[in-house]
Amino acid sequence: MRIMIVDDEIDIQPLFNQKFRSELKNGKVELVYCFSAEEALEHLKTVGSTEFVLILSDINMPGMNGIELLKVLKEKYSHLKVFMITAYDDEEKYQKAVKYGADNYLTKPLDFEKLKEDLNINI
């Protein structure tokens, strides 16, 4: 299962690698990191969207934010599941995420066990 994580905070990489350590080691998951919405779209254009099962995207990022990215993803790559992540429980952003087709809406700090459950990863 190949998952793209889009977040401008570089320190999320070691966190996700640690939380998915067993799944990475067993080959159940492959994580690809993009540190901006623009980088994510370029990566999908270059590598192809069929390589991914899920995009996990932060909402608050400089440049194109996660809601704008979600809108583009659902227009161009409607087959992709997109989970939105935010540090702020904001009803307006939640409503926009739902409006643009987010498959899930998660708040930080992430509950990784719940995330794995949502992804149907057997631990």
pLDDT tens by residue, 42-92: 999 999 999 899 999 999 999 999 999 999 999 999 999 999 999 887 888
pLDDT of residue 120: 79
Contact 6, 66 (CB under 8 A): yes
Residue 9 has pLDDT above 90, yes or no: yes
* Topology (CATH) of 2-110: Rossmann fold (3.40.50)
Q: Is the pLDDT of residue 123 over 80?
A: no
Extents of the domains making up the chain: 2-110
pLDDT in tens, 25-36: 999 999 999 999
Q: What is the DSSP letter of 42?
A: H
CB neighbourhood size of 73 (10 A): 27
Confidence of residue 11 (pLDDT cuts 50, 70, 90): very high
Q: Look up residue 111 and give its amino acid.
A: D
Reported pTM: 0.93
